[in-house]
Amino acid sequence: MPLTEKALMELESIVGSENFSADKPTCLTYCSLMHGVSYFPAKYIFDAVVRPASTEEVQKIVLLANREKIPLYPRGLGYSQMHFPGPDGGVCVDLGRMNRIISVDEDSRFVVMEAGVTVGQLLEYFAKHHPRFEPIIPNSAPLASTMGGFQVGRTGGPYQIRAGTGVDSILSFEGVLPNGEIVQTGAASMNQPWFLKGDWQAVTDPRFMLAALGTMGIITKFSSRMFPKPQVREERWYGFDSMEDVVDPLTQWMYHQFGLESCYGGNWVGLASGFHGLRHPFPDPKKAGWPNAWAVLLYGGHPEEVALKKRLVEDINKKSQKKGNSIRPMRSPMTPYGDRLTEREMPWTEVQRWVHQGNLRYVPTNTQIWFISYVMARNIPAFLHAEDEITEKYGFYTNFHFRAYDWGRMYQLKLTLTYDISEDKDVDMLREALREFALRVKNLGVPVGPQSPVVIPYLIAEFPSFAKQVKLYLQLKDMMDPNNIMNPQAVAPMREAMKGAKV
Amino acid sequence: MKLEERRKDVFYCANCKWCYYRFPEDSVKHWDLMKVSCPSGKYYGWETHYAPGRLTVAKGVLKKFIKPDKKVVDIIFQCPVCANCRVICGNEYGWGKEVVFNDILEDFRADLVDLGIGPAPEQKKFGESVRKSYNPYWEPHEDRMKWMPSSVKPSKKAKIAYFVGCTSSYRMKETAQATVKVLDAAGVDFMMLDPEEWCCGSPLFRTGQRELAKEMMKHNVDAVKASGAKSVIFSCAGCYRTFKVDYQDYLGPLPFKLMHTTDLVAQLLKKKKLKLKKFPGTVTYHDPCHMGRHLYIGNPPDPSVFEPPRQVLKAIPGLKFREMERTKEMAWCCGAGGGTKSAYNDFAISTAIERIKEAEETGAKALISSCPFCRRNLIEAIEKSGSKIKMYDIMELLANVIA
């Protein structure tokens, strides 16, 4: 149902005309997410985009949305996959203007910021004003991504081995519930301590709302931990005969939290995945005399702490060697140009060759996920073509995207082919479409199969959770958001999947 | 539609938004050196005004979700086409192929002009001026050489022709005057193309008014050929880029050599053809997009395009040279390019003020550039921001220190 003229005018009056747009080009832009072509809207489009500047403005928007039954889709910079408008249109709440870094407390080590602060902005701010400290930021996320999005997305980051993922670093937050109520959780880092907010102490875990991607409310402000910059940063490289050998020591390093930011390993495709551009040829690992697989451990902290960690790591490595593991220290890889391996040295043709040879079998690092994403993203015209053809041939609205799942400390990338569940199509036909799609993906040179990082087919309709959990979640959602205004499309597939489900 | 021909390029953008931020060479160690890279996105704030947003609009037009209208014109023309996004995409994240943002944008602009809804009214006006008097400033063509100092007498026939450009001829005359003085002092035998020098077409090419631009191109190339000159030198980065990139895109390799004055002067200094006095001051240099990124783009990229102006400055005795934080291929645009100065002046000035602040942070007393159009906008920004920094063209500085 399109928005009424009155509702549009009211929205405009809340945020001001320069921060309100109902024109089609702007609304279309806000429908486009990362890897946006795959999600390029074929059917639905936002009715308006608003850019509030404060929690109070967000509250006014939510109250209006409740009154007028307008679906709201909060958005950072569009890196998640969850705020795609539905058939009812809706309003995109762009939090990009809420980008103030409110305070930094060096003694208690936390920073309070608004949800729209970007990673790049935060890094720039810390470098200028608090050079002895580091904020917790998403690992390998683009600098333009918002910190609010990072926190609600449960993504990992530097220090995640020590401190957990982004959401674990949250001390408190302020948000607007679907009924328009402003809530503040946590302790002294916010204006008011939680115990002064009578109704809210029942929810003790801020994750209830975080990681909800706007389905339970809109996070507008939060405080997050920060770390002192380590006095020493060092890295150690290890070589292995095979990828199988990497797994054991790597798991133990991770388990004992020896890494400062991360410890990771892989084959050379994995390493090269972090290397951008084609300015120089990447050396042939065999000719360079490099081992088949590698792992790297980044130490950090006080000098004594680092020395202790090194000793403990050596103990683990020796024990591993005794069991027949091929682990041995290696020099940091050198290029033919004499420099240490730096970015921009991976020839694309080499990557493709390795992928074709089926070398890319293990995906233990999110760097590799990025690599695969890039493989996909850079082949988007081909994918788009496939998408269009399949849509035309089978009559489904199809699209695809990438998902990285955190299974313990291992990641796997899923290529998902979704379809509009509201259209009651023949399931066999859908399977046929998926098979054809899989074939096309395979033809692009990406390995498909159980050992592959790319797993297809995967239907969004087959919601991969326990029915009881889903039911509970939906009950909670109904209770908190009776008008179903907050990010309704995120829960729509769950509702469909729950129809007739035995709980 | 020209945009249709670029369909693959348009959809090549994965909307990853890495182009929002500049990523310096040593970024792995210095995450703190990040800066927003897009003047338009920073000023307007909407995602629509960053490169991926503009391409999303292009995708929408190609997929027929949206029809080109006034709003689309605003979005597409509110960009100085500085090409920072393209360099970041290509050099940092492009897997060997960058999204050719600025080329796509210019094609899109040309389509909007063909459809009769673009460019912005002010840009249309300077097009009319070029048609009438061969310059975008509504100045009479016969006044084009009025800036020429009486002390300098160019040859009637010479191997080198000096293409002055409209901005130096009518608005920033100091640049043209300084250039001929330097050439004269170095004993360079040069000629002028007047009265056959017309607008190079740069503002027209940048704003999609290609038909008229091609007329200018044809005339200028014929004029150079008829003059018998073997080389053409430019003191304007925009004219230089237009000859070097646009003209050669349409006409293939030109039968004469193209050179920016900084290239020539760097060579003259090397050959010790110029004697310079001491300049006791600290200066910094602003890389014009047209004399840097627009020439730097290519395979393989050629970083040497950034060196001649620096060589010239460093050759001045006593001069202390300090780089700004964002330089060379990552330089922050002055904000005036792509037709924004005429149509969206507030945006152009705001962008220039940011550059002025960056220049002040270096402690320099003077900001130097090699583009009269950048200079014009930066001078206006200095006036509006109340800054005390001085703004000179590199030739102007050089003319003052010739012994």
- Look at residue A432 in the predicted model and tell me its pLDDT: 62
Considering only CB atoms, which chain A residues are within 8 Å of B66? Answer: 24-25, 28
Q: What angle, 0 to 180 degrees and rounded to 10, lies between the N-to-C axes of helices B51-62 and B84-92?
A: 90
Nearest Cβ partner for A380 among B14, B35, B95? B14
- Look at residue A346 in the predicted model and tell me its pLDDT: 37
Amino acid at A101: I
Choose from A15, A19, A21, A26 for mutation: most chain B CBs within 10 A.
A26
The chain B residue lying nearest A341, using CA atoms, is B28
- Residues A294, A296: Cα–Cα separation, whole Å: 7
CB contact under 8 A, B16 and A34: yes
CB contact under 8 A, B21 and A144: yes
Contact (Cβ atoms closer than 8 angstroms) between residue A104 and residue A86: no
- Look at residue A371 in the predicted model and tell me its pLDDT: 38
Answer whether residue A11 shows pLDDT above 70: yes
How many Å from the N-terminal Cα to the C-terminal Cα in chain A? 33
Tokens 């590698």 correspond to A294
CB contact under 8 A, A32 and B56: yes
pTM score above 0.80: no
Average pLDDT over every residue of A323-348: 58
**pLDDT band, residue A120 (cuts 50/70/90):** confident
- Higher-confidence residue of B13 and B76: namely B76
CB contact under 8 A, B32 and A276: no
Tell me if the bond preceding A488 is cis, omega within 30° of 0: no
- Look at residue A431 in the predicted model and tell me its pLDDT: 55
Helix, coil or strand: residue A492 = helix
- Look at residue A388 in the predicted model and tell me its pLDDT: 58
Report yes or no: A126 at the B interface, CB cutoff 8 Å.
yes
Tell me if the bond preceding B195 is cis, omega within 30° of 0: yes
Which of A81-90, B230-239, B256-265 bottoms out in mean pLDDT, i.e. has the lowest?
A81-90
**pLDDT band, residue A155 (cuts 50/70/90):** low
Contact (Cβ atoms closer than 8 angstroms) between residue B182 and residue B260: no
CB contact under 8 A, B60 and A28: yes
Q: What is the DSSP letter of A284?
A: P
**pLDDT band, residue A36 (cuts 50/70/90):** very low
Chain A 402-431, CB below 8 Å of chain B: which residues? none
Considering only CB atoms, which chain A residues are within 8 Å of B65? Answer: 24, 28, 41, 45
CB contact under 8 A, B12 and A381: yes
Cα dihedral B212, B214, B217, B222, rounded to 10, equals -110
pLDDT digits (tens, 9 = 90+) for B208-220: 999 999 999 999 9
- Residues B143, B165: Cα–Cα separation, whole Å: 13
Task: With residue A91 as reference, give the H or E element that holds it.
Answer: strand A91-94
CB contact under 8 A, B95 and A78: no
Considering only CB atoms, which chain B residues are within 8 Å of A384? Answer: 11
Task: With residue A399 as reference, give the H or E element that holds it.
Answer: strand A398-407
Cα dihedral A340, A343, A345, A348, rounded to 10, equals 150
Which of A62-71, A279-288, A363-372, A444-453 bottoms out in mean pLDDT, i.e. has the lowest?
A363-372
Helix, coil or strand: residue A211 = coil
Chain A 372-391, CB below 8 Å of chain B: which residues? 374, 377-378, 380-381, 384
> Which of A176-190, A247-261, A282-296, B147-161 has the highest average model confidence (pLDDT)?
B147-161
Contact (Cβ atoms closer than 8 angstroms) between residue B306 and residue B345: no
Amino acid at A317: N
CB contact under 8 A, A24 and B66: yes
Choose from A143, A273, A371, A375 for mutation: most chain B CBs within 10 A.
A143
Tell me if the bond preceding A457 is cis, omega within 30° of 0: yes
Helix, coil or strand: residue A333 = coil
- Smallest CA–CA distance, residue A298 to chain B, in Å, is 13
Considering only CB atoms, which chain B residues are within 8 Å of A29? Answer: 46-48, 53, 56-57
Tokens 């899109």 correspond to B108
Q: How many CB pairs under 8 A join A and B?
A: 143
Answer whether residue B179 shows pLDDT above 60: yes
CB contact under 8 A, B33 and A127: yes
Contact (Cβ atoms closer than 8 angstroms) between residue A139 and residue A118: no
Considering only CB atoms, which chain A residues are within 8 Å of B88? Answer: none
Considering only CB atoms, which chain B residues are within 8 Å of A51? Answer: 45-46
Nearest Cβ partner for B66 among A28, A347, A384? A28
Residues shown for chain B: 403
> Which of A19-33, A178-192, A278-292, B221-235 has the highest average model confidence (pLDDT)?
B221-235
Report yes or no: A281 at the B interface, CB cutoff 8 Å.
no
Which of A446-450, B100-104, B208-212 bottoms out in mean pLDDT, i.e. has the lowest?
A446-450
Average pLDDT over every residue of B386-394: 96
Nearest Cβ partner for B32 among A96, A127, A384? A127
- Look at residue A273 in the predicted model and tell me its pLDDT: 40
Contact (Cβ atoms closer than 8 angstroms) between residue B259 and residue B232: yes
Q: What percent of chain B has pLDDT over 70?
A: 93
> Which of A351-355, A366-370, B47-51, B100-104 has the highest average model confidence (pLDDT)?
B47-51
Considering only CB atoms, which chain B residues are within 8 Å of A275? Answer: none
- Residues A474, B260: Cα–Cα separation, whole Å: 67
Nearest Cβ partner for A276 among B21, B34, B92? B92
CB contact under 8 A, A33 and B33: no
- Look at residue A206 in the predicted model and tell me its pLDDT: 44
Contact (Cβ atoms closer than 8 angstroms) between residue B336 and residue B288: no
- Look at residue B92 in the predicted model and tell me its pLDDT: 45
Considering only CB atoms, which chain B residues are within 8 Å of A146? Answer: none
The residues, ordered by sequence, that sit 6+ positions from A39 with a Cβ below 8 Å of its Cβ are: A31, A32, A33, A81, A84, A399, A401
Nearest Cβ partner for A29 among B7, B56, B96? B56
CB crowding B7-27: b at 16 or more within 10 Å, else e: bebbbbbbbbbbbbbbbbbeb
- Higher-confidence residue of A243 and B139: namely B139
CB contact under 8 A, B34 and A377: no
Q: What percent of chain A has pLDDT over 70?
A: 50
Question: What are the CA-CA distances from residue B390 to residues A291, A426, B73, B156 (Å)?
Answer: 58, 73, 36, 36
Report yes or no: A271 at the B interface, CB cutoff 8 Å.
no
Considering only CB atoms, which chain B residues are within 8 Å of A22? Answer: none
| Backbone φ and ψ of B11, nearest 5° | -80, -5
- Smallest CA–CA distance, residue A176 to chain B, in Å, is 23
CB crowding A135-172: b at 16 or more within 10 Å, else e: bbbbbbbbbbbbbbbbbbbbbbbbbbbeebbbbbbbbb
Answer whether residue A14 shows pLDDT above 80: yes
Q: Quote the tokens at residue B30.
A: 């210095």
- Residues A400, A386: Cα–Cα separation, whole Å: 10
CB contact under 8 A, A276 and B94: yes
- Smallest CA–CA distance, residue A142 to chain B, in Å, is 6
Tokens 């008829």 correspond to B226
CB contact under 8 A, B57 and A32: no
- Residues B60, B7: Cα–Cα separation, whole Å: 11
Q: What average pLDDT does the structure give for chain B?
A: 90
Question: What are the CA-CA distances from residue A233 to residues A92, A136, A257, A305 (Å)?
Answer: 42, 17, 15, 11
Chain A 28-67, CB below 8 Å of chain B: which residues? 28-30, 32-37, 40-42, 45, 49, 51
| Backbone φ and ψ of B40, nearest 5° | -65, -45
Rg over alpha carbons for chain B, rounded to the nearest Å, is: 21
Question: What are the CA-CA distances from residue A405 to residues A150, A410, A414 (Å)?
Answer: 15, 8, 8
Answer whether residue B370 shows pLDDT above 80: yes
Q: What average pLDDT does the structure give for chain A?
A: 66
CB contact under 8 A, A78 and B60: no
Which of A297-306, A308-317, B219-228, B357-366 bottoms out in mean pLDDT, i.e. has the lowest?
A297-306
Reported for B120-123, long-range contacts at CB under 8 A and 24+ positions apart, including other chains, are B120/B73, B120/B74, B120/B77, B120/B207, B120/B339, B120/B342, B120/B343, B120/B344, B121/B343, B122/B339, B122/B342, B122/B343, B123/B77, B123/B203, B123/B207, B123/B209, B123/B339, B123/B342, B123/B343
Considering only CB atoms, which chain B residues are within 8 Å of A79? Answer: 17
> Cα A177 from chain centroid?
23
CB contact under 8 A, B23 and A143: yes
- Smallest CA–CA distance, residue A162 to chain B, in Å, is 21
- Look at residue B95 in the predicted model and tell me its pLDDT: 40
Burial class (CB in 10 A: 0-12, 13-18, 19+), A88: middle
- Look at residue B80 in the predicted model and tell me its pLDDT: 96
Amino acid at A503: V
Tokens 């080389």 correspond to B231
Choose from B33, B34, B77 for mutation: most chain A CBs within 10 A.
B34
